[in-house]
């Protein structure tokens, strides 16, 4: 795999079957089960190691990133999107507000909600944090072939999408 061919790579893959998961080897899930458990601890360690110079933990990061993309929204919408308990979202928001990363504005349509909006410096900060994290992973994986990096990102994404979808269907 990953032969250093000079000019290009041609990959042909064929899968036969119904297309729907036939019975899949159990060993496949042995690995997934174990590696996910380990991965979690690993990633936790990374978190504590303080990935970026800027102090911005995972949850805050995801929260701000969402506000950046989806404009001012209320806590409920935020919590739904991030699949967090409202109380958790509320506290996290409060923390970010006290740090000056988030502002509240009354919703003219509904006096119950207070819309959340990121403050001016935040987008630049997010960019920096993102850069720093990417650099971290780029260093960590600097000996991996590009294809594996790409595939890892892709499969994690796919996993996340699958899990989100399932959780919504139930929750």
Partner DNA sequence: ATGTTAAGGTTGTATCATGCAACCGATGAT
Partner DNA sequence: ATCATCGGTTGCATGATACAACCTTAACAT
Q: Which of residues 97-136 bind a second copy (CB under 8 A)?
A: 130, 133-135
* Whole-Å CA distances, 112 to 69, 72, 106, 116, 152: 23, 15, 8, 13, 42
CA distance 161 to 168: 11
Instruction: Report whether 76 contacts 87 (CB < 8 A).
Output: no
Please give the residues from 69 up to 88 whose contact with a second copy meets the rule CB under 8 A: 82-83
10 makes contact, choosing from DNA, a second copy, none, with CB < 5 to 8 Å by partner type, with a second copy
CA distance 101 to 60: 10
Provide the Cα torsion 53, 154, 27, 15; round to 10°.
-170
Element (H, E) at 111: strand 110-118
Q: x/- contact string, 48-87, with DNA (CB under 7 A)?
A: x--------xxxx-------------xxxx-----xxxxx
Please give the residues from 129 up to 168 whose contact with a second copy meets the rule CB under 8 A: 130, 133-135, 137-138, 140-160, 162-164, 166-167
92 makes contact, choosing from a second copy, DNA, none, with CB < 5 to 8 Å by partner type, with DNA
11 makes contact, choosing from a second copy, DNA, none, with CB < 5 to 8 Å by partner type, with a second copy
Chain contacts with DNA (rule: CB under 7 A) = 41, 44-45, 48, 57-60, 74-77, 83-88, 90-95, 107, 110-115
């Amino acid at each position: 795999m990953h032969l250093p061919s000079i000019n290009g790579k041609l990959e042909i893959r064929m899968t036969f079957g119904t297309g729907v998961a036939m019975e899949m080897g159990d060993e496949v899930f042995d690995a997934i089960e174990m590696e996910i458990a380990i991965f979690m601890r690993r990633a936790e360690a990374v978190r504590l190691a303080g990935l970026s110079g800027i102090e911005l933990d995972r949850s805050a990061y995801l929260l701000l990133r969402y506000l950046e993309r989806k404009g001012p929204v209320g806590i409920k919408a935020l919590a739904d999107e991030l699949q967090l308990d409202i109380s958790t979202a509320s506290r996290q928001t409060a923390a970010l507000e006290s740090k000056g990363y988030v502002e509240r504005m009354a919703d003219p349509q509904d006096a119950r909600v207070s819309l959340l909006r990121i403050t001016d410096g935040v987008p630049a900060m997010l960019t920096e944090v993102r850069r720093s994290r990417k650099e971290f992973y780029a260093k960590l994986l600097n000996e991996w072939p590009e294809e594996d990096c790409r595939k890892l990102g892709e499969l994690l994404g796919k996993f996340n999408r699958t899990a989100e979808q399932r959780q919504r269907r139930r929750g």
